Amino acid sequence: MPSTDQMAPKIVEKSGVYISTYGCQMNVNDSERMYTLLEMSNYVPVTSADQASLIIINSCSVREKPVHKVHSEVGRYRKLKEKNPSLKIGVAGCVAQQEKKKLLKDVPLVDFVIGTDSIDELPQIIAKIKSENKKSVDAKFKHQQPYQIETLIRNPGVSTFINITKGCDNFCTFCVVPFTRGRERSRPYKQIVEDVNKLISRGVKEVYFLGQNVNSYTSDCGVNFAQLLKGIALETDIERIRYTTSHPKDFNQELIDISQEYREKICEYIHLPVQSGSTSVLERMNRVYTREGYLKKVKMILDTIPGVALSTDIIVGFPGETDEDFEQTLTLLEEVPFETLYAYKYSPRPFTKAARYTDQVPEEIKSERLTRLFKIHKAIAAQLAKKYLGQTLRVLVEQSNGERSFGRSQHNKVVHFKTTNNLVGQTVDVKIHTAFPATLRGELVGAHE
Ligand code: SAH
Ligand code: SF4
Ligand code: F3S
């Protein structure tokens, strides 16, 4: 007869895990992957660090500010660690990949460092640091391995991220990403189709393809990015496809034509980072296009997809940027209808070529230029938003409380409207009566078939 001990149900107490996420959508998706993997190994996500026995900071190092934030966040956990010495603190993401074991030395509170290519080993890494009670660093790139992963999402919403490429081979002279995410790899085409189909069966209506440079996607069977979009539009029942980020050098007529042909599914929104309006700055940035080349691509897009919404990234104060160069960036804003602008002061990054350029621009000039740029763009954006007034937009509803709903139009505009029932996941027609640069308001005029 079994002893009472053997008969008693085994109660395994779950440990709390808290992940704080910085940086781009790639990191948001990686945090979701970490939560999913940890849930499978008996962790439960908690909403604040003081409830956790495991804290992971999923860091970003694209500019200096996010790096500082990681250091100060770890510092805030000192008291928690004093209260609970078994609390484990890890750093993941791009700072982890960049700093590797140096992080353990510089920030003694950190117990483990996990690089961007080691996420799938997270449960084993944690089991090891706990059983051996010693610190660990896993930050080697797995360049020899094919990029074959299944998208892991706990509760997919209406719209879900799917990584299609990882890494970057472009080596723009300002950018740390090729050093923190490694060489560029594309996932097999068939695996992406399977992912999309699985997510559709879980209620997903929109997939958001992610990569540092999505439009250089090339699958094992030779499918390019345009063909991937076409394949997903034709072979699956997904309602919408979004993607980010595209590099202007890989934006070609085939992609534009397919976007137009399948515009019912492929969103009419293109984020096309220009970085600068000056050809000589672009050359020193190693962007491999000129101002004229960029303008030509924009013309191709606008001529083929009327009504398309454009957005961009700009860096001000890149080393050697003169007043004239900066003026060229300002005039570009008048030539290209960018509805949204993400702009940053140049920040020297480790390992990058531009950090070693000797003609760095003083901080005050960078700040002045950024303020001027945003001011000019604000007026342009307000003007551009007016075109939506009176238009009826197809909105995929993301949130609804039975009274108010919001969703996104095919142009990636956030649209708010009143409702009398919960419409989450439905595509509806909304007639726009108020247009701000970032959001629109309108009236529900019907469901969309
Ligand atoms: N892969 C994307 C960009 C990824 S980083 C692309 O090529 O467009 C996101 C943005 O951060 C960049 O477009 C750039 O505008 C900005 N950025 C990158 N490195 C930077 C740096 N060192 N200083 C300031 N901004 C930077
Ligand atoms: Fe960085 Fe350039 Fe690669 Fe974008 S394309 S991730 S800016 S190196
Ligand atoms: Fe930051 Fe890394 Fe993304 S540097 S922007 S988290 S790729």
CATH 3.40.50.12160: which residues of the chain?
Answer: 13-138
What CATH number has the domain spanning 389-448? Answer: 2.40.50.140
Contact, 413 vs 437, CB < 8 A? no
Q: What is the pLDDT of residue 6?
A: 52
| Stated pTM of the model | 0.94
Number of the ligand 2 atom closest to the C-alpha atom of 213: 5
pLDDT higher than 80, residue 1: no
Question: Token match 């509760």: residue?
Answer: 155
Contact, 255 vs 297, CB < 8 A? no
Taking only the tens place, the pLDDT of each residue in 116-145 is 999 999 999 999 999 999 999 999 999 888
CATH topology of domain 159-386: pyruvate-formate lyase- activating enzyme (3.80.30)
What phi, psi does 83 have (nearest 5°)?
A: -70, -35
What length is written for the chain? 449
How far, in Å, CA of 296 to CA of 25, rounded? 29
Q: What is the pLDDT of residue 12?
A: 55
Residues with C-beta less than 6 Å from any ligand 3 atom: 23-24, 26-27, 60-62, 93-94, 176-177, 180-181
Q: What is the pLDDT of residue 2?
A: 46
For helices 189-201 and 225-235, angle between their N-to-C axes, nearest 10 degrees = 40
Contact, 423 vs 397, CB < 8 A? yes
Best residue among 177, 212, 214, 244 to mutate for probing ligand 3's pocket (most ligand atoms within 8 Å of CB) is 177
How far lies 209's CA from each of 87, 228, 266, in Å?
Answer: 35, 10, 11
Q: Name the CATH superfamily housing domain 13-138.
A: Methylthiotransferase, N-terminal domain (3.40.50.12160)
CATH 2.40.50.140: which residues of the chain?
Answer: 389-448
Determine the distance separating the centroid of ligand 3 and the alpha carbon of 49, expressed in angstroms. Answer: 22
Determine the distance separating the centroid of ligand 3 and the alpha carbon of 207, expressed in angstroms. Answer: 20
Contact, 442 vs 431, CB < 8 A? yes
- Most distant CA atoms of the chain, gap in Å: 89
Amino acid, single-letter form, for residue 297: K
Tokens of 396: 């995929």
Best residue among 22, 56, 58, 94 to mutate for probing ligand 3's pocket (most ligand atoms within 8 Å of CB) is 94
Q: What is the pLDDT of residue 9?
A: 54
Mean pLDDT of the chain: 94
pLDDT higher than 80, residue 7: no
Average pLDDT, stretch 336-362? 98
Taking only the tens place, the pLDDT of each residue in 192-229 is 999 999 999 999 999 999 999 999 999 989 999 999 99
152/5: higher pLDDT:
152
pLDDT higher than 70, residue 11: no
pLDDT higher than 50, residue 247: yes
Number of the ligand 3 atom closest to the C-alpha atom of 25: 3
